[in-house]
Amino acid sequence: MGSSFSNVINHGIECDLLDELRENTRQFFKLPVEEKQNYARGPNEIEGYGNDMVLYQNQTLDWTDRIYLLVHPEDNRKLHYWPRNPKSFRALGLSEDSFLNQYGDKPTMYTRFNFYPSCPKPDLVQGLKPHSDGSAITILLPDEEVEGLQFLIDDQWVRIRINPHALLVNVGNQMEMMSTGILKSPIHRVTTNTDKERISVAMFCAPGTAEDVGPVEELINDTRPRLYKTVKDYPAIYFKYYQLGKRPIEAVKLY
Ligand SMILES: O=C(O)CCC(=O)C(=O)O
Ligand SMILES: [Fe+2]
């Protein structure tokens, strides 16, 4: 089976709401740095405003600015990281259960708002380095006008064309693990533009970190082996490997 992602068009979410989400994302990144810094990621935190944590010398950095928020479970939200400005940010459809209400007992959903400034040297630096997502499923709302997202398919980078009304659904590492490789989490990256900035909003959905995540027993048989370990808190493994430039899913492969 090839890489697993698809553009979903009839998703039932109002286009106006998606446009509003993009508009709020743009407005947030246009705020003065001092105001955005009010939501700055604390040391050793993954949530908040800012770029990658720098953990290693020679770590590849991305040409992007972002804010990353835990949305589910609701009780664990850290609201001091949630922008007060633009005003409607906190009230957005994000706070509804539209994506996750059938997703187990205590699933997690993080939302990452990405801003890629125009870049004078797009051949030297990427907006987001090649990776596959650590989620089970990612729902991505890309920029409605500026391209940049590319998937690695058969060793070729394939660009995703703009479809302003589509949500892109992407399989993450945890779905690859649970499906024992039937669904593969594709490698993707974001390129930059010399004269255009770009935004996107990525919602990462996954089982709760206290859950055991690994191949579903019913899928294992003589021809389909158990390819992955069963682990708790895969995101912790993911973050450690990712910034080293290694493929995190390698850490949980059995062979
Ligand atoms: O900006 C995009 O289109 C993709 C973002 C992405 O891959 C991510 O945040 O993991
Ligand atoms: Fe991604």
Q: What pLDDT, on the 0 to 100 scale, is given for residue 170? A: 94
**Residue 176 beta carbon below 6 angstroms from any ligand 1 atom:** no
Q: What pLDDT, on the 0 to 100 scale, is given for residue 117? A: 95
**Residue 190 beta carbon below 6 angstroms from any ligand 1 atom:** yes
> Alpha-carbon distance 189 to 184, whole Å?
16
* Model confidence pLDDT, tens digit, residues 86-110: 988 877 655 555 444 445 577 888 9
Q: What pLDDT, on the 0 to 100 scale, is given for residue 94? A: 57
- 220 CA from centroid of ligand 1 (Å): 32
In the predicted model, what is the mean pLDDT of residues 190-206?
95
Residue with more model confidence, 244 or 126: 126
* Model confidence pLDDT, tens digit, residues 231-249: 999 999 998 888 777 889 9
pLDDT-derived band at 253, boundaries 50, 70, 90:
very high
Q: What pLDDT, on the 0 to 100 scale, is given for residue 52? A: 74
Residue with more model confidence, 75 or 116: 116
Q: Ligand 1: which of 3, 22, 65, 114 to mutate, judged by most atoms within 8 Å of the beta carbon? A: 114
**Residue 149 beta carbon below 6 angstroms from any ligand 1 atom:** yes
**Residue 128 beta carbon below 6 angstroms from any ligand 1 atom:** yes
Residue with more model confidence, 88 or 65: 65
CB-based burial, 104-132: b 16+ in 10 Å, e otherwise: eeebbbbbbbbbbeebeebeebbbbbbbb
Which of 58-62, 79-83, 180-184 is the least confident region? 58-62
Residues in the 5 Å CB sphere of ion ligand 2: 133
